Amino acid sequence: MREEIYTELIMEHYKRPRNFGKISKPDTIYSDANPLCGDEIKVYVKFSGKKINEIKFTGHGCAISQASASMITEFVKGKNFEFVKNLSKDDVLKLLGIELSPMRLKCALLPLKAVKMAVYSHLSKDQK
Ligand code: FES
């Protein structure tokens, strides 16, 4: 099946994920899991004003979820809230560079949801 053949880029991010680890004293942390497989991701973010200054993740999962987390965290570093808010499924697919089955799409979107929720939870803290 075409979507099961991962590109070198995906495998490279899976084996050497960028931004893997924790941030000491993050402004916000958000954890999420894929209920279908139990894989988990935890996102740590430090902000500088409205920008993402530092972002890291921990957790475990399949090649797609880990590569997606690595690519998304690279992509949003230094960007502002608005940029993260507007990130879509298509942006993630573009980063990964392949089409995905609905099953695999859930894997790819798990980190996107976690990153967005981390940003939103920080925003809602700010408004309190
Ligand atoms: Fe669990 Fe992909 S199989 S996130």
**pLDDT tens figures, 79-122:** 999 999 999 999 999 999 999 999 999 999 999 999 999 999 99
Percentage, residues of the chain above pLDDT 90: 85
Atom of ligand 1 nearest to the CA of 104: 2
Ligand 1 atom 2: residue of nearest CA: 107
Average pLDDT, the chain: 93
Per-residue pLDDT band for 3 (boundaries 50, 70, 90) equals very low
pLDDT at 127: 65
Ligand 1 atom 4: residue of nearest CA: 107
Ligand 1 centre and the CA of 107: distance in Å?
A: 5
* Per-domain boundaries in the chain: 2-127
Q: Which fold has domain 2-127?
A: Sufe protein. Chain: A (3.90.1010)
Q: pTM of the full predicted structure?
A: 0.93
* Ligand 1 site, residue 110, Cβ cutoff 6 A: yes
Q: How far from the centroid of its chain's Cα atoms is residue 109's Cα?
A: 8
